[in-house]
Amino acid sequence: MTEIVAADTVLRIPPGQSPDYQSDNPLMKLLALAEGQRLAAERHFYLTDDLQTLVPFGHLELAGPQGEDADTLDPARQDNKADFQKQNVRDFTTTDTYLLRGWVTTRAWQDLGAETPVPQRTVPFLKLSYAAGPDSKLASALGGLPGKEIRLYLKVNGREAGGLIPVPYNDATGRYEIELWGDHGVDLAVALAGDGMEKALGSLNGGELISRPDLIVGARSDFDREGKDDVDVRAVSPDCAMHPVLPLRVECAWADAEERAWDSNGGANYTYVFGMQVRGWDAYLKAGISANPHGGVGFLHYRNLMSNYFGFAGSGELGRTIEPWQFDAYGRKPEGTAREAFMSVDYVDLHILKNNCGIGLHRHRDNQEVFFLLSGQAVMVTGDWNRFPDRERCFEIRTLRPGHFAMVKPGGLHGMMNATDADIMLLMFGGYD
């Protein structure tokens, strides 16, 4: 069961006034935080369009309703669907941890003197970053600064590290940072040898970059389209740290180098989930070829993106759980927690986002919504407004390309930014909140 976070702030907006969204916009603040994350190796190693960021937050500040509803500050009673102001995030406070994941590629190693040539591999990586200042929870628990190195307890998709991982202080960012790479089929010290790799070698020698194929599993080639007709992709390399459909769960806690003090969420550890629901040509449940589709001619190539049919019946992806403060598809509030197995649609819109246009961070109390990118490239943000029992509240940031869509669930929040010079063409549909 989810819950509304009582500690969040809802600002009273006097009737006749509206917030100033041009100044100190929280979407721009969030994107600046994400762009400021430093990679351990040279940028050419990474598939930058596939980088995905988690920014955990502990507190939200939201705008209150407009006009006659200005004093209705309890989100459970903000039932006027025509008032969009009540959805809008005005500010947020981050916690001490940031996370980043993506694909990283090293070159083929035929020319490195190896007896058996090693082909190029693209594998996942995971980065964790922790605040180093006196305001961090670890510094408060310790009663002082932790020093030049801290320790990390880590579990990735249920795979435990088997010991605490040393995490060095990064002078460039002023944070403690560690980047874990998957299996490139060759020792990283060998893989990073050569001109133009000084940053990567420095990170490796300094402990900021490590190879942990026991934790960071999978390869991009696992999801090649070839040979995947009618295969449920959820069963393909399910532990992959960059699986295109399945979420990645990261459990962690932080300690000083002597393990005298911990930031461990009261002993429960922190659980962070990369789980934005993105589907498209490269992220789907099943692909195949259908001859004479519906009695037609030729061959249809298809992708099942989300489905309640056949082998995906009961998947729940298109459904939603409805809490007592949320409206169902018929505009009613259930007496207790209820479940709808379908997605209700009240509108279908086309949008054009011009250069430097952003859809601001806002909550979805009740409804589901789909953002389908027709053209251009967008930065998509989703996250939890409600508190969900199995994860910390985070903003999740990804790049959408044409043919991608992202789905927002009730109790979530989202935003989108066009940071390019070209227009973004967007199809949106869902239910009004």
Q: What is the band of 118 on the pLDDT scale with cuts at 50, 70, 90?
A: low
Asked whether residue 182 is assigned to any structural domain, the reply reads: yes
- The DSSP letter of residue 174 is T
The pLDDT of residue 310 is 87
Buried b (16+ CB within 10 A) or exposed e, 180-197: bbbbbbbebeebbeeeeb
Query: 214, 243, 275 — which closes off a domain?
Result: 275
What does pLDDT average to over the chain? 94
Check whether 349 has a pLDDT greater than 60.
yes
Write out pLDDT tens, residues 211-240. 999 999 999 999 999 999 999 999 999 999
DSSP of 383-424, one letter per residue?
Answer: EESSBPTTS--EEEEEEE-TT-EEEE-TTEEEEEE--SSS-E
Q: What is the dihedral of CA 189, 103, 50, 306, to 10 degrees?
A: -170
The pLDDT of residue 47 is 95
Does residue 227 sit in the same domain as residue 341?
A: no
Does residue 262 sit in the same domain as residue 349?
A: no
Asked whether residue 84 is assigned to any structural domain, the reply reads: no
8 Å CB contact between 178 and 167: yes
The pLDDT of residue 107 is 64
Asked whether residue 72 is assigned to any structural domain, the reply reads: no
Asked whether residue 240 is assigned to any structural domain, the reply reads: yes
Does residue 266 sit in the same domain as residue 124?
A: yes
Does residue 261 sit in the same domain as residue 344?
A: no
Does residue 221 sit in the same domain as residue 197?
A: yes
Asked whether residue 336 is assigned to any structural domain, the reply reads: yes
Question: Cβ neighbours of residue 35 under 8 Å, at least 6 residues apart?
Answer: none
CB atoms inside a 10 Å sphere around CB 203: 23
Query: 275, 310, 333 — which closes off a domain?
Result: 275
Average of per-residue pLDDT across 62-78: 97
Does residue 230 sit in the same domain as residue 159?
A: yes
Q: What is the band of 116 on the pLDDT scale with cuts at 50, 70, 90?
A: low
Average of per-residue pLDDT across 74-88: 96
Q: What is the band of 37 on the pLDDT scale with cuts at 50, 70, 90?
A: confident
Bigger pLDDT: 36 vs 178: 178
The pLDDT of residue 195 is 72
The pLDDT of residue 185 is 79
Does residue 326 sit in the same domain as residue 265?
A: no
Name the token pair of 194. Answer: 């050569």
Q: What is the band of 1 on the pLDDT scale with cuts at 50, 70, 90?
A: confident
Cite the beta strand spans of 328-376 per DSSP E.
338-340, 347-353, 358-364, 369-375
8 Å CB contact between 131 and 157: no
Does residue 179 sit in the same domain as residue 131?
A: yes
Asked whether residue 347 is assigned to any structural domain, the reply reads: yes
Does residue 286 sit in the same domain as residue 257?
A: no
Question: Cβ neighbours of residue 43 under 8 Å, at least 6 residues apart?
Answer: none
- Report the CATH number that the domain containing residue 397 is assigned in CATH: 2.60.120.10
- The DSSP letter of residue 191 is H
CA dist 125 and 211 (Å) reads: 9
Buried b (16+ CB within 10 A) or exposed e, 217-245: bbbbebbeeeebeeeebeebbeebbbbbb
Average of per-residue pLDDT across 51-62: 98
Q: What is the band of 194 on the pLDDT scale with cuts at 50, 70, 90?
A: confident
Does residue 365 sit in the same domain as residue 316?
A: yes
The pLDDT of residue 191 is 76
> Helix, strand, or coil here: 141?
helix
Pairing of strands 165-170, 378-384: unpaired
Asked whether residue 338 is assigned to any structural domain, the reply reads: yes
Mean pLDDT lowest among 70-79, 108-117, 423-432: 108-117
Write out pLDDT tens, residues 129-185. 999 999 999 999 999 999 999 999 999 999 999 999 999 999 999 999 999 999 987
Does residue 254 sit in the same domain as residue 204?
A: yes
CA dist 232 and 246 (Å) reads: 12
Report the number of distinct structural domains present in the chain. Answer: 2
8 Å CB contact between 111 and 138: no
Write out pLDDT tens, residues 373-422. 999 999 999 999 999 999 999 999 999 999 999 999 999 999 999 999 99
Domain of 367 in residue numbering reads as: 281-430
Average of per-residue pLDDT across 35-58: 94
Name the token pair of 413. Answer: 């929040």
Percent composition of the chain: helix, strand, coil (DSSP 3-state, to 5): 15, 40, 50
CA dist 56 and 274 (Å) reads: 11
If you compute the radius of gyration of the chain from its CA atoms, what whole number of angstroms results? Answer: 23
Helices of type H across 192-308? 198-206
Does residue 251 sit in the same domain as residue 354?
A: no
Q: How far is CA 81 from CA 135, 198, 294, 332, in A?
A: 40, 55, 40, 13
Query: 251, 275, 299 — which closes off a domain?
Result: 275
Write out pLDDT tens, residues 257-280. 999 999 999 999 999 999 999 999
Asked whether residue 227 is assigned to any structural domain, the reply reads: yes
Q: How far apart are the first and last CA of the chain?
A: 20
Write out pLDDT tens, residues 303-321. 999 999 888 988 899 999 9
8 Å CB contact between 241 and 216: yes
